[in-house]
Amino acid sequence: MKSVLKHIARLGRDRRGVAAAEYAIMAVGIVIVVAAAVMMLADPNKSAFAVLGNTVSGTISDMIANLSAAR
């Protein structure tokens, strides 16, 4: 019985693997923060690229129209 208690006490003092668990918890936290940032920035970036695409498309159409009228 004493050897079982000694073994349990030794396991309680064993710190191997604690660092791995801490790194895993930090990695999960980083993944959550990055995912939240991507979700928050997805809609503004989508609309910004849509406006930029429409502006470029309109400018190209105007340039083509002006070139055609100049001939």
How large is the average pLDDT for residues 5-13?
75
DSSP state of 48: H
Each residue's pLDDT tens digit, 11-57: 667 677 677 788 889 999 999 999 998 888 777 777 778 888 889 88
Q: Indicate the pLDDT class of residue 71, thresholds 50, 70 and 90.
A: low
Q: Where along the chain do its domains lie?
A: 16-70
For residues 4 and 54, what is the distance between their CA atoms, to the nearest angstrom? Answer: 74
- Say what the pLDDT of residue 42 is: 76
Can you spell out the DSSP letters for 6-65? HHHHHHHH--TTHHHHHHHHHHHHHHHHHHHHHHHHHHHHHHHHHHHHHHHHHHHHHHHH
- What is residue 48's predicted lDDT score, i.e. its pLDDT? 79
Note the pTM of the prediction, 2 decimals: 0.45
3-state secondary structure of 17: coil
Which residues lie closer than 8 Å to 13 by C-beta, 6 or more apart? none
